[in-house]
Amino acid sequence: MKDNGLCCITGRFLLPVLFCILLTPRDSYSQLCQGSLGDPIVDIDFGSGTSVHGGALPSGQTSYTYSTDDFPMDGSYTIENSTAGSGSIWWSTTDHTGNSGGYMMVVNASISLTDYFYKNTITGLCPGTVYEFAAWVLNLLKSQDNSPPNITFMIEKTDGTLLNSYTTGSIPLQSSAVWKQYGFYFSTPENVSTVVVVMRNNSAGGAPANDIALDDITFRPCGPDIFAKVTESSDQTDTICKGTEDTLHFEASVSAGYNYPHFQWQEVINGTWQNMPGDTLLSISVLLDNLPSGTYSFRLAAGEMANFPYQKCRVESNVISIIIVNVPDAKYGVVTPTVCANEPIEFIDSTVSISMLNYEWNFGDGGTSTLQNPSHIYSQSGTYNTRLIVSTPMGCKDTASLPINVTLVPVPHADFTISPTDTSIFHPTVTFSDKSTGGATCSIDWGDGTINDCLVTQHDYSSAGTYTVREIVGNSAGCSDTASSTVIIRAEFRFFVPTAFTPDGDGLNDVFRPVLYGVYQYTMLIFNRFGEQIFITHDSSDGWDGNFKGTSCPEGTYAYRISFYDEVEKRFRVYSGSFVLLRN
């Protein structure tokens, strides 16, 4: 089916020149209304329910046999809300709106062609009025269809006189469960308000062949094209900030089609369309005073003067939606206007709004911010006229102002010198000199986990690295200041192993201990001449005193094995060798 094969609507709605569809041969295109439609005056949706199957149609509405099977036989139909139980031959579907409880008519075509599979009498139509008839159809077969559905829709007078008809042509298989709407125009003659809709399947059934679902049969008045808009914006939708506009203007354009047109603007009140008293022109003014926030809907109804009192005879324009949104109520404050001179004042937003907001802060000294809760540092005490403008994405704005009496409490000044700032692990001592002023307390953080009072003037680093030294000074008001400097302790490597030692207790060379600098993860092992381990240490400042298990070892040659991590070259080293133990 193509949706673009529509007839044009020209001239007035006089029967001889109603629509070109009435004058041209049938083709495979649906001829749905090109102009404006009225509300559905008939909507046959087969009902709804919690049971899979609904009841049978009234007598005479179908020539087929009612069945409660999920997959009715040829020449049968069922009313059901899902085809999920029909097996693998049909698509699993609900009604065309996707309502899990909504019923549809499921038809398995008869092997022998019949006059109709659905027929219904439609009453209460307006004479001399053009209507759009439409119905939704689904080819249920998934993979094979030996005789595709081919439906003719007919609108007849009660005496059988044909008013108009439309044939779908073959409705092919689809790659999924696809509902399609088919329809056409017809016109009720003068003095005719009742018609009969007849649906005939031109293809025979079979296995598998010609299985359809039918839903939502509608009749709607069809008239000239009506387009309504907001005059100020030329849009169909407009958003208004509450209290910012008193009046809006609506206007509509209507194509030719009525001999004696009549118009009536309508609005939705309590969920239903109601006439707006006195608003019967194409252009009107709408008062917005004191309307609460919300969405308001408007449209223009049009029809022939004589038939206009009857809703079934008129059509409606597109809907104009006016959205009134609340203006935010801008409010804010500060945590405290009295702060230390080097600290910011914190501004706290307390604006009341149901929308996301944009913020424009002015701190009164030339400073600005777009954050919700900003902080600002003032350079001096004084009174500052601050302002906050908040706005919603819709453009609704509000402004709040607040004078702030800023008091800046003096802060101490941190300052120090340190020397040297670049040295090696062989000379790891640095000297500190306090130069701070105005502080009641002072501490120094050496950057290696050690914190001292500023009275301590020297510090030894135990390992190489780059350290940030910080001095923190504070006064009695709780204000503080910090100064910092960087100390570099460079890695160095030095290693010397003596060749002999004399553990005789004279205080000279009594311990065998290598000279080591810049080493980490240290281990030293001592072995006797039999290869027996007699000493181990992981402390580079520890040495062997010549004893083993409380007994002095004899003079002689001993072996060592020393391993450690070299911080300079970033690798492990291992040294082995021998030394002599001498006794006097």
- CATH value at residue 237: 2.60.40.10
> Mean pLDDT throughout 124-151?
93
Q: Is there a single domain that holds both residue 46 and residue 121?
A: yes
480-503: pLDDT as tens digits = 999 999 999 987 777 889 999 999
Please give the average per-residue pLDDT across 309-323, as a whole number.
90
Domain that residue 292 falls in = 226-325
Buried b (16+ CB within 10 A) or exposed e, 324-336: bbbbbebebebee
What are the two backbone dihedrals, phi and then psi, of residue 264, each rounded to the nearest 5 degrees? -155, 120
- Give the pLDDT confidence score for residue 256 in this predicted structure: 85
pLDDT of residue 6: 29
Give residue for tokens 């553990």. 503
Claim to verify: residue 319 and residue 382 sit in the same structural domain:
no
Q: What is the mean pLDDT of the chain?
A: 90
| Last residue in a domain, options 280, 305, 325 | 325
pLDDT digits (tens, 9 = 90+) for 238-280: 988 888 878 999 999 999 888 889 999 999 999 999 999 999 9
Lowest-confidence segment of 16-25, 418-427, 452-461 by average pLDDT:
16-25
- The whole-model pTM stands at 0.56
Q: CATH number for the domain including 545?
A: 2.60.40
CB–CB of 45/102 below 8 Å? yes
Regarding whether 219 and 111 lie in a shared domain, the answer is yes
**CA angle in degrees (0–180, nearest 5) for 271-311-248:** 55
Cα three-residue angle 317-32-196, rounded to 5 degrees: 105
Closest listed residue to residue 255, CA positions, set 21, 9, 4, 6: 9
Give the residue from 540, 552, 555 showing the smallest Cα distance to 497.
Answer: 540
Which has more confidence, 3 or 365?
365
In a domain, 5, yes or no: no
**Predicted pLDDT at 27:** 38
pLDDT of residue 304: 87
Strand segments, DSSP code E, in 41-114 are 42-44, 65-66, 76-80, 104-108
At residue 508's C-alpha, the angle toward residues 507 and 513, to 5°, is 105
Higher pLDDT, 1 or 236: 236
Task: Tell me: do 80 and 110 sit in the same domain.
Answer: yes
- The answer on pLDDT for 288 being more than 90 is no
Specify if 166 maps to a domain.
yes
pLDDT per residue over 50-79, tens digit each? 999 999 999 999 999 999 999 999 999 999
Mean pLDDT lowest among 104-113, 285-294, 495-504: 285-294
- Residue 86: helix, strand or coil by DSSP? helix
Cross-strand bridge partners of residue 338: 407
Could you give the strand order of the β-sheet that contains 416-419, starting from the edge strand earlier in sequence?
A: 416-419, 429-434, 458-460
CATH code of the domain containing 205: 2.60.120
Same domain, 34 and 130: yes
519 within domain boundaries = yes
pLDDT for 30 equals 59
At which residue do the structure tokens 């070299």 appear? 566
Query: Does residue 341 sit in the same domain as residue 261?
Result: no
Q: Are residues 245 and 197 in the same domain?
A: no
CA-based nearest residue to 295, from 267, 324, 317:
324
Tell me: do 190 and 257 sit in the same domain.
Answer: no
User: Considering the domain boundaries, does residue 2 fall inside one?
Assistant: no
**Residue 8 within a domain:** no
Residues 43 and 168 in one domain: yes
Residue 7 has pLDDT above 70, yes or no: no
Of the three residues 325, 346, 378, the one that is the final residue of a domain is: 325
- Domain membership of residue 360 (yes or no) is yes
Q: Per this entry, what is the length of the chain?
A: 584
Which domain-ending residue is among 207, 223, 239?
223
231, 219: one domain: no
Note the pLDDT tens digit of each residue in 413-449: 999 999 999 998 888 999 999 999 999 999 999 999 9
Do the domain assignments include residue 237?
yes
pLDDT of residue 483: 97
The whole-number pLDDT of residue 16 equals 28
The number of distinct structural domains making up the chain is 5
Query: Taking a C-beta distance cutoff of 8 angstroms, is the pair 483, 507 a contact?
Result: no
* pLDDT tens track for 533-544: 999 999 988 999
For residue 242, what pLDDT is reported? 87
List pLDDT tens digits, range 204-228. Answer: 998 899 999 999 999 999 889 999 9
Using alpha carbons, list the distances in angstroms from residue 505 to 107, 510, 528: 116, 6, 21
Mean pLDDT within 318-324: 94
Question: Is residue 175 pLDDT above 80, yes or no?
Answer: yes
Q: pLDDT, tens digit, for every residue of 390-420?
A: 999 888 999 999 999 999 999 999 999 999 9
Both 485 and 505 in one domain: the answer is no
Give domain status of residue 10, yes or no.
Answer: no
Say which residues have a Cβ less than 8 Å from residue 455's Cβ, sequence separation at least 6.
none
Q: How confident is the model at residue 197 (pLDDT cuts 50, 70, 90)?
A: very high
Tokens of 574: 């291992």
Q: Please give the pLDDT value at position 492.
A: 78
Mean pLDDT of 189-202: 95
Do 248 and 259 share a domain, yes or no? yes
Tokens of 186: 């017809």
Comparison of pLDDT for 576 and 9, the residue scoring more: 576
3-state secondary structure of 315: strand
